[in-house]
Every structure is written in C-alpha cells, then in structure tokens.
C-alpha cells in the first residue's frame, strides 16, 4: 500500500513520529510530501498535494497532520474523488474506513498524543471498506461530486 504523509509546521512533530511507524509497517510504502521544517507554512498546500496524489492513483491513501486536523481535512475534501476523515480515536478511524471508505486520514498534532495517533494510523491502514449498504451511500456522495443533476439526498 502506497501512503502519502504530509503535515504543516504545527503537525511536524507528530508527522515525524508517524513517518517512523510507517517505515516499520510491513506492506507500506511511505512517501513524504513535507513539510520538514518548523517554519510556518500553509496547510492547504500540503493537503491538496496529498489529496491530488490519492485522487490520481499515485498513492493509495494519505495521512495529513496539522494542529487540529480540521484545516487539512477541509482542504483535502475539496479534491473530487477524495474522502478525508478527521479521526481522534481508533473507533472513528475504523468506521471511517468501514463505512465511508476514507482515502485520507487527518490528525491533530496538538490534539492527540503520539501513541494514540500511532494506534489510529494502524487501525485506519488495516481496516477494509465494508461495502454492502455503505456502498450505496458512497455512490450518492460520488454523484454529487460528479456534478450529477440527480438528487442524491
């Protein structure tokens, strides 16, 4: 599984810890999309780079880290074909994959600790999409993304 990892200056410490974890995970090919400096940067630049890589199929999944995870998730969700989920515990991570087939995980470096973040990442990367009734719901979201005039909701 190809995984893109990026963070802004507020998420840099957690991003570095997650990079180490991804390097140790069997079957994961990690790609660093920055930042690698404590200098202030704009989170949308990094969120959009990862989201576009996911949407284009250059990577399978993306993980984004900023101070709260909110800005990263908002920016990533602007890219058609991407479903980013802001998760703060293993349960939301699991459900974001099982129910929503989230391609991008957003985390708050100032909100959760490194051990919790590591567990969230492990759960998120290993949980498959459940399909079934959830597939129908994903298709409704995709219909709106594609500009369909069909009423999805």
pTM of the model: 0.92
Domain boundaries along the sequence of the chain: 2-145
pLDDT at 142: 85
**Average pLDDT, integer, range 132-149:** 80
Q: What residues contact residue 139 under an 8 Å CB cut-off, 6+ apart?
A: none
The residues assigned a catalytic role are 66, 99
What average pLDDT is seen over the chain? 94
pLDDT at 153: 41
Could you tell me which of 150, 144, 153, 8 has the C-alpha nearest to residue 77?
144
Helix axes 12-24, 114-126, angle to 10 degrees: 50
pLDDT surpassing 50 at residue 103: yes
Helix axes 114-126, 90-98, angle to 10 degrees: 20
Looking at CATH, the fold of the domain delimited by 2-145 is given as Ribose 5-phosphate Isomerase B; Chain: A, (3.40.1400)
DSSP state of 97: H
**Percentage of the chain modeled with pLDDT above 70:** 95
**Average pLDDT, integer, range 124-148:** 86
Q: What is the pLDDT of residues 10-62, one digit of tens each?
A: 999 999 999 999 999 999 999 999 999 999 999 999 999 999 999 999 999 99
Core vs surface per residue 53-76: b (16+ CB within 10 A) or e: bbbeeebebbbbbbbbbebbbebb
């Amino acid at each position: 599984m190809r995984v893109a990892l990026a963070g802004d200056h507020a998420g840099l410490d957690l991003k570095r810890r997650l990079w180490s974890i991804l390097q140790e995970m069997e079957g994961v090919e990690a790609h660093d999309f920055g930042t690698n400096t404590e200098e202030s940067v704009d989170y949308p630049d990094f969120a959009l780079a990862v989201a576009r890589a996911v949407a284009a199929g250059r990577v399978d999944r993306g993980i984004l880290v900023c101070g709260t995870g909110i800005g990263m998730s908002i920016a990533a969700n602007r890219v058609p074909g991407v479903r980013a989920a802001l998760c703060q515990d293993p349960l939301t991570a699991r459900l974001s994959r099982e129910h929503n087939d989230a391609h991008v995980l957003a985390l708050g470096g100032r909100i959760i600790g490194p051990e919790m973040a590591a567990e969230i990442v492990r759960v998120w990367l290993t949980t498959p999409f459940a399909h079934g009734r959830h597939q129908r719901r994903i298709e409704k979201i995709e219909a709106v993304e594609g500009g369909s005039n069909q009423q999805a909701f």
